[in-house]
Structure 1
Amino acid sequence: MSHPTSDVQAFEAHATDADLADLRIRLASARLPEAETVHGAARGPRRWEQGVPLADLIDVVHYWRTEYDWRSFEERLDRIGQFRTTIDGLGIHFLHRRSSRADATPLIMTHGWPGSVAEFTDVVGELADPEDGDAPAFHVVVPSLPGFGYSDKPTTTGWGTEMIAAAWVELMGRLGYAEFVAHGGDWGGVVTTVLGGRFPAHVLGIHSTFAEAPPGLTTDGLTTAERRWTEDTRDFWQHRAAYAKQQATRPQTIGYSLVDSPVGLLAWILDKFAEWSDTGDSPFETISRDRLLDDVTLYWLTRTGASSARIYYESHNSLDPGLRVDVPSAITQYPHDIEKYPRVWAQERYRRIVRWRSPETGGHFPSLEVPQYFVKDLREGLAAVLAAHR
């Protein structure tokens, strides 16, 4: 049985006034290109087909410089509870909210790219201490991936998803959680898959918005909708994944721009929030500018544009084709996510799918896009996982 350890230290986020002033100066003096040549196109996806439209970027940059309040985000992080510990020589930052409920289950939630712990700050409280006394409660742990946020930047290669998953088991043990459930999407979904597949003695079950099937499966017998999912996923990797190829092969090169230019960093991340959210035109139809800027500013102040990109170098296409997850699994595939796999494919890897959901709305960032549904779905999914484990 694991027990809490003194190796875990309390942490407070606090950017210097000088760093915030420097950010505003850089935003005010940014050099911008001319407008895209589809400038003036009607609202909709075509307006974004060359990337972030100039007018939209100017609007967000102005708001970031003149109205956005970073201190408010710092206070939210501190209210949840922030900590750091060192695992395998690397400092790991994490949020930790213990539930007041005696029947609460430990839960680790892992973000992806271009996300961060900012994805989950608005849902941690309701997961830990739900207003509905009949809803399941969780001791919530939200770590920052290596090279992200307030976690240390690896100085050597090796910090891929397998090593991260092992570190998460160690982290949970240090907090006194020998057994726990896990949730993730994007890279967090890969880490969660590895947790379930490699560490069944510790992981009671998983909930994921990412369920990558093993390669080489046939489309024979798939429904029309399922075939469309496979075609959309293939199209994404063939035509819309240049960012992933860049970060997987040359993270250092793009990193110079992401660490030096706040406008460049904003555009690189905003482009993904726009394309991957379930909206008709702008991501701000469902996600506020403040929530997106919480995420972008965290990348900026921690200078993690290059170090976060390296997770692609470490782990792109690295999920073991033979890895199988035998612990109970709940899978939710949001309609506008970038990768979706048919259940018949997913169950070749996830051998005990106890709950499968395909909601009508939502994209790659469901905790920000549809937070109420996300919390309800996560609760119900993990309740099904725990019931199957007993």
Structure 2
Amino acid sequence: MTTVEQETGSGIRPFHVEISAEALDDLRRRLAATRWPRRELVDDRSQGVQLATIQEVARYWMGDYDMRRVEARLNALAQFTTEIDGVDVHFLHVRSPHEAALPLVMTHGWPGSVIELLDAVGPLTDPTAHGGTAEDAFHLVLPSIPGYGWSGAPTQLGWDPGRVGRAWDTLMHRLGYDRYVAQGGDLGAYVVDAMGRQAPEGLLGIHANLLVAMPADGSARRSETEEEKTALAAIAERTATGFGYFVEQATRPQTIGYPQVDSPVALASWLLDHDTDSYHKISRAFLDGEPSGNLTREHVLDNITLYWLTATGTSAARAYWETGQAQARAGGHAPPPVTVPAAFTTFPGEAFAAPRSWLEQAYPTLTYYNRVDRGGHFAAWEEPELFATEVRAAFRSLR
């Protein structure tokens, strides 16, 4: 480490996950001591996570799940930490065996983590082993957003998506990548959208699988085609019946954080209650043993267990508050335009299927758009091979 690195904390330090037996014993004890409410009074999820589902999650978690899976899966890959803007950032850095690979930084969302991206690592870094060609390879960087996973939780205000995007640019240059691309879904889509507007030197293009930038002219509210009408109806339905988590985290993250760091069942139920499509898929995986793609019981519990062991329920929720505060500060003023090439993939199970017309207005630099036939909100997690195929196609023209 150089003197400058020592003085600025900019050194890159190897990281290894170590989970104590005491932490796992405490988790089992808390699961066993859960006080259960009475069953919901409806036969669907309209009152929230159903009792039968969450009880089976808890039973499987306590009895059948290998609680050291998270430790083993992460420690199988190269992990590091580095201080950026006063916060320790944890990241995975997996270089491709193909030296000419394109550097790619991918950002997870909520209620996900780097766990949701792990099974896309192989297809993206070593495409020749997964039906692709060496020309499609990526050197992959998977950071945890500050407040998530083993990244440090911010102790100052202001860690909105734009600040995260600037941190990722610092990280990529610190790793020696002077040209790179960026991808994100959910909260990660906010980050890559911000990066596309910042257009830092070396960022070649962005890809997202959730539209977070509606057309500035308000045309999304004047739907004309059937595709646009369907998307608008889906947004209205979600806002009316499934947006409670968003409002709570955007306005009262501290309040919802207390149960998440004290009760594993409260944490699990909060993380499961995100969107109808993924909830039903996860519920079927636990109740019927029928996972959708890669959304297996083990993989879902890997993610929940990471949140529990890192006690990040509160700090992760706070990212929504920061995003809302940044939007409030903008005061309704349009952000600067995206000036780098933008690409987008619509997965059918997403909260709404973004029409191409909306994408073209939100991103005049759109160079790639595709609608695929399977996958949902957790695209990389549920369908890692298909997701990797889309990322390859999205950035192929930028190599």
**TM-score, with length taken from structure 1:** 0.91
Q: How far apart, CA to CA, are the structure 1 residues paired with 2:170 and 2:72?
A: 28
239, 248, 258: which one aligns with 1:246: 248
Whether contact under 8 Å (2:278, 2:377) holds in the other structure is yes
List per-residue Cα deviations over 1:235-278 (Å, max 9, x = no partner): 32233211111111111111001110000000111222654468
The reply on whether 1:346 has 2:347 as its aligned counterpart is: no
- Structure 2 counterpart of 1:255, from 254, 257, 260: 257
Shift in alpha-carbon separation, 1:170–1:280, aligned structure 2, 3 A: closer
Whether 2:270 is the aligned partner of 1:268: answer: yes
**CA shift for structure 1 position 216:** 4.5
- Structure 2: where are the runs of 5+ without partners? none
Matched, 1:146 2:146: yes
2:310 corresponding residue in structure 1: 302
Cα displacement (A) at 1:280 = 10
The 2-side partners of 1:96 and 1:140 are apart by 6
Q: Is contact 2:82-2:90 (8 Å) kept?
A: yes
What letter is aligned with 1:310? R
Corresponding residue of 2:27 = 23
Tell me the alpha carbon deviations over residues 312-349 of structure 1, each in whole angstroms, 9 at most, x when there is no partner.
Answer: 11003846633321211110111221244322222223
Separation in structure 1 between the aligned mates of residue 282 and residue 166 of structure 2, nearest angstrom: 40
* Equivalent position SS for 2:158: coil
Deviates more, 1:338-347 or 1:175-184: 338-347
1:312 equivalent to 2:320? Answer yes
* Structure 1 Cα separation of the partners of residues 35 and 345 of structure 2: 42
| Cα gap change, 1:216 to 1:281, in 2 (>3 Å) | farther
Q: Is 2:14 the counterpart of 1:10?
A: yes
- State the match for 1:126 in structure 2: 123
Q: Secondary structure at the match of 1:170?
A: helix
Percent of paired sites with the same residue: 41
The alpha-carbon distance between structure 1 residues 359 and 222, as it changes in their structure 2 partners (threshold 3 A), is farther
**Aligned match of 1:113:** 110
**What SS class does the counterpart of residue 338 from structure 1 fall into?**
coil
User: How far apart in 2 are the matches of 1:59 and 1:377?
Assistant: 34
- 2:294 counterpart of 1:292: no
Structure 2 counterpart of 1:368, from 364, 369, 381: 381
Displacement after TM superposition at 1:178 (Å)? 1.6
Letter in 2 for 1:299: Y
Counterpart for residue 172 of structure 1: 172
Shift of 1:353: 1.1
SS in 2 for 1:37: coil
Cα root mean square deviation, aligned: 2.0
| Aligned 8 A contact 1:277 1:365 in 2 | no
Taking the aligned partners of 1:127 and 1:278, their CA distance within structure 2 comes to 28
Q: 1:236 to 1:317 in 2, by over 3 A?
A: farther
Q: Could you tell me whether the CA contact under 8 Å between 2:215 and 2:361 is conserved in 1?
A: yes
1:60-102 CA-to-partner distances (Å, cap 9, x unmatched) read: 1111001211322212212221110001110100111011112
Deviation of 1:215 after TM superposition, in Å, equals 4.3
* Residue 159 of structure 1, CA deviation: 0.6
Structure 1 residues 365 and 221, CA, compared in 2 at 3 Å: closer, same or farther? closer
Looking at structure 1, the residues matched to 316 and 283 of structure 2 have their Cα atoms a distance apart, in angstroms, of 27
Given residue 213 of structure 1, which amino acid in structure 2 is its aligned partner? M
Comparing 17-26 with 192-201, greater Cα deviation is found at 192-201
Residue 334 of structure 1 corresponds to which residue in structure 2? 347
1:11–1:83 Cα contact (<8 Å) kept: yes
What CA distance in whole angstroms lies between the structure 2 residues aligned with 1:63 and 1:274? 22
Q: Residues of 1 paired with 2:341 and 2:280: CA distance?
A: 28
Deviations 1:162-210 (A, max 9, x none): 1110000001111001210010001101101111110242210111102
User: Residue type of the partner of 2:155?
Assistant: T
Instruction: Give 5+ residue unaligned stretches, structure 1.
Output: 42-46
1:199 is aligned to 199
Partner of 1:32: 36
1:63 to 60, 65, 83: 60
1: distance between equivalents of 2:282 and 2:298? 20
Which residue type is aligned with residue 208 of structure 2? Answer: S
C-alpha distance in structure 2 between counterparts of 1:283 and 1:159, whole Å: 35
